[in-house]
Amino acid sequence: MADHPYYILSIIGVAAAATFFWRILGTYIGRKLAIDHFMIKWATATAYSTVTALSFKLLIFPEGPLGETMLLDRLIVLIVAVGVFFLAKKNILITCIFGVILFGAILYLRQ
């Protein structure tokens, strides 16, 4: 059953519908609220905290091939990437490219 292509497509469809429902509802409600309304601030804080929690879960408790790397290596890349982020005037693209190259170099040198 789970290998059937329609099963997988239906799961993706349900997830997309649920996501788009809340996005559309948020857009509709958000148009009527001022930018400094407490609901806008709450939604922003919730979004940032969710992204932060998921990012740190990936950093501290990764699964798959990333889980086979050393925590120290991941923390070094995080600390250096945060520094690069501020040195590059908060340019996310430069920070991501630098972080990937640095992580790859550390893994290469550990072999």
Task: Give domain status of residue 75, yes or no.
Answer: yes
Task: Give domain status of residue 55, yes or no.
Answer: no
16-71 residue pLDDT tens: 999 999 889 988 888 888 889 898 899 889 999 999 999 999 999 999 999 999 99
86-107 residue pLDDT tens: 999 999 999 999 999 999 999 9
- Give the C-alpha separation, 57 to 27, whole Å: 29
Task: Give domain status of residue 20, yes or no.
Answer: no
Q: Is the pLDDT of residue 15 over 90?
A: yes
Task: Give domain status of residue 44, yes or no.
Answer: no
Task: Give domain status of residue 22, yes or no.
Answer: no
- Give the C-alpha separation, 109 to 93, whole Å: 24
Task: Give domain status of residue 78, yes or no.
Answer: yes
Give me the number of domains the chain comprises.
1
Task: Give domain status of residue 63, yes or no.
Answer: no
Task: Give domain status of residue 1, yes or no.
Answer: no
pLDDT at residue 88 in the model? 96
pLDDT at residue 1 in the model? 61
Q: Contact 94/84 with Cβ under 8 angstroms?
A: yes
**Domain span holding position 102:** 69-111
